[in-house]
Amino acid sequence: EPEVTQTPSHQVTQMGQEVILRCVPISNHLYFYWYRQILGQKVEFLVSFYNNEISEKSEIFDDQFSVERPDGSNFTLKIRSTKLEDSAMYFCASSKKTETQYFGPGTRLLVL
């Protein structure tokens, strides 16, 4: 059964550095999402992406964040200048239209 994959599984970075989190959605899915979960808190929506543009974003998704589908298979989340409070588990998800969202295993980001 096809699955969403994410790399890396863990990333440690210094505050102020740029990070790129990568996701490979399920191949016939057209809708892509990023969520994050700060330790001990709920899973929070960041952004949804369809047809090469952002379709919806939360207030968390400020100018420090960007998403891209660079090559037709990968879906990336970039954080330009990481802050301590960006430390979290980041989940990618994909779906066909308004159907089940399938989640990746997550990338644990630690900002020091």
Partner 1 sequence: AQRVTQPEKLLSVFKGAPVELKCNYSYSGSPELFWYVQYSRQRLQLLLRHISRESIKGFTADLNKGETSFHLKKPFAQEEDSAMYYCAFRSYNTDKLIFGTGTRLQVFP
Q: Which is nearer to partner 1, 3 or 85 (CB)?
A: 3
64 near partner 1, rule: CB under 8 A: no
Among 48, 82, 94, 107, binds partner 1 (CB under 8 A): 48
51 near partner 1, rule: CB under 8 A: no
Q: 23 burial class (0-12, 13-18, 19+ CB within 10 angstroms)?
A: buried
Which DSSP symbol is given to 18?
Answer: -
Give the Cβ contact number of residue 47 at 10 Å. 19
Sign for the CA dihedral angle at 36, 64, 7, 34 comes to positive
* Contact of 43 with 51, CB cutoff 8 Å: no
103 near partner 1, rule: CB under 8 A: yes
* Binding track over 19-38 against partner 1, x by CB under 8 A: ------------x-x-x---
Place of tokens 């968390």: 60
Q: Which is nearer to partner 1, 78 or 96 (CB)?
A: 96
98 near partner 1, rule: CB under 8 A: yes
Which DSSP symbol is given to 9?
Answer: S
The site for partner 1 (CB under 8 A) is made up of: 3-4, 31, 33, 35, 41-45, 48, 55-56, 58, 91, 95, 98, 100-106
